[in-house]
């Protein structure tokens, strides 16, 4: 599995958000849905903040995105 290593949380979050945005745009061009399973909690908040920024400032559309919230609990 390819792995990217980033110098900071911000660089990592931005890189992950760019990959998600690229996938969303590719699916839009193909007329298909983009299905995402996104974790909850504080861990992904930097990625979510970057996706929000991309939406507000760059016009990233989520019209074709279906989101499943993913929570991992062990009892």
pLDDT in tens, 18-69: 999 999 999 999 999 999 999 888 889 999 999 999 999 999 999 999 999 8
- Provide the pLDDT for residue 75: 67
* Residue 3 confidence (pLDDT) above 80: yes
- Provide the pLDDT for residue 71: 78
Question: What are the residue boundaries of the structural domains of the chain, listed by start?
Answer: 9-70
- Provide the pLDDT for residue 43: 85
Contacts of 27 (CB under 8 A, 6+ apart): 33, 34, 64
């Amino acid at each position: 599995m390819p792995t990217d290593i980033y110098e900071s949380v911000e660089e990592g979050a931005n890189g992950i958000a760019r990959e998600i945005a690229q996938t969303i745009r590719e699916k839009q061009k193909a007329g298909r849905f983009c299905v995402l399973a996104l974790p909850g909690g504080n861990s992904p908040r930097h990625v979510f903040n970057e996706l929000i920024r991309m939406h507000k400032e760059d016009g990233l559309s989520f019209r074709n995105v279906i989101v499943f919230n993913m929570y991992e609990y062990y009892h």
